[in-house]
Amino acid sequence: MENKLIVSLSPHVHSGDSINKNMYGVLIALIPAVIASLAFYGLGALIVTAVSVIACMFFEWAISKFIMKRESLSICDGSAAITGVLLAFNLPSNLPIWIIILGALFAIGVGKMSFGGLGNNPFNPALAGRVFLLLSFPVQMNTWPVVGQLGYYIDVETAATPLALMKSALHGSTDALAKLPDSLSLFLGNNGGCLGEVSVLALLIGLVYMLWRKIITWHIPVSILVTVFVFAGIMHLVNPQIYVSPWIHLLSGGVMLGAIFMATDYVTSPMSKKGMLLYGVCIGLLTMVIRLFGAYPEGMSFAILIMNAFTPLINMYMKPKRFGEVAKKK
């Protein structure tokens, strides 16, 4: 029998990257933020994170095996675990377990597997789960325990987050901004919020690691953060009495978490560098518009999901140049 040489589609040079390698690299980058959440919220952070990860992995396994009838299961590639950690990072530390499980079911079942699984989902699954819970259980999702309560209690002492205080100032509260934590507290994590929002330092360590390992590029995180800083800076110059400094906006809420770990998702973000920059700028603009003029204190989740929907359009009109392609003369 004659042997035939079969040449597959490019690229032909293997770089050593794989789905598993990159996914587990992201999980390693998340470790500092996990440690920070445990330090500030203790048992509550541990329970929320563990339940979210286990539920996401279970639902991916169950849907793949019993509903989609797949022989090769994707539970070990790390993507379900990342979804679980990121979903937990978007939740308060005292959220009831049954609500966390519902969020994991929506994130995996609706946000990911209903589109065919990894590589086919148009929206970030963890953010889809977070927004579903925010719309379905607004009271529980907006009850923020005070930092330092290391147990897991549904009824705990709560306090307003920095974003809630900023929103109160926009609505006319005269003393709201005076209650804001200082920049150092926001940077280190001594403030209320979701598990993944507490420590900017921990998130930046993860960013440096992923850039060093070339898991992501700088384009999306930097374009988001610069846009937020410029927009917030302009508003602060216009009226510093009600609009806080741009540094406070960068250090508060989910800007860092979204820019570093959520918006950079391979599947739901553009492929070209120009597309990434446009994508990041639009996310930054939408985030600030929602924060300052919308009904919700935070806009990062909605901004990323909206731009996820525009990613195919960006990829269509901002395609990377083909290797060896000669530009046409006008």
For residues 278 and 188, membership in a common domain is answered with: yes
pLDDT for residue 323 is more than 70:
no
Residue % of the chain over a pLDDT of 90? 62
Domain contains 150: no
Domain contains 14: no
For residues 193 and 262, membership in a common domain is answered with: yes
- Please identify, among 141, 173, 200, the residue that sits at the C-terminal boundary of a domain: 141
For residues 176 and 292, membership in a common domain is answered with: yes
- Please identify, among 111, 141, 171, the residue that sits at the C-terminal boundary of a domain: 141
Before 240, cis peptide (omega within 30)? Answer: no
pLDDT for residue 221 is more than 80:
yes
Domain contains 118: yes
- Please identify, among 106, 141, 176, the residue that sits at the C-terminal boundary of a domain: 141
Q: Model confidence over 19-63: pLDDT tens digits?
A: 788 999 999 999 999 999 999 998 999 999 999 999 999 999 999
pLDDT score, position 321 = 66
What tokens does 187 get? 């940077």
Domain contains 53: yes
Domain contains 45: yes
Q: How many structural domains are present in the chain?
A: 2
Measured in degrees and rounded to the nearest 5, phi and psi for residue 5 equal: -85, 115
For residues 85 and 167, membership in a common domain is answered with: no
Domain contains 124: yes
pLDDT score, position 244 = 92
Burial class from Cβ neighbours inside 10 Å (0-12, 13-18, 19+) for residue 7 reads: exposed
Q: Model confidence over 223-279: pLDDT tens digits?
A: 999 999 999 999 999 999 889 999 999 999 899 999 999 999 999 999 999 999 999
For residues 171 and 114, membership in a common domain is answered with: no
For residues 196 and 310, membership in a common domain is answered with: yes
- Which is nearest to 208 in space by CA: 22, 40, 28? 28
What is the domain range of residue 101? Answer: 19-141
pLDDT score, position 206 = 97
For residues 175 and 302, membership in a common domain is answered with: yes
For residues 170 and 312, membership in a common domain is answered with: yes
Domain contains 280: yes
19-41 helix and 43-62 helix, angle to the nearest 10 degrees: 150
For residues 169 and 125, membership in a common domain is answered with: no
pTM: 0.90
For residues 87 and 134, membership in a common domain is answered with: yes
For residues 166 and 125, membership in a common domain is answered with: no
For residues 310 and 173, membership in a common domain is answered with: yes
Yes or no: say if 259 and 127 are a contact pair by the CB < 8 Å rule. Answer: no
Domain contains 157: no
Q: Which residues pair with 145 in a beta bridge?
A: 158
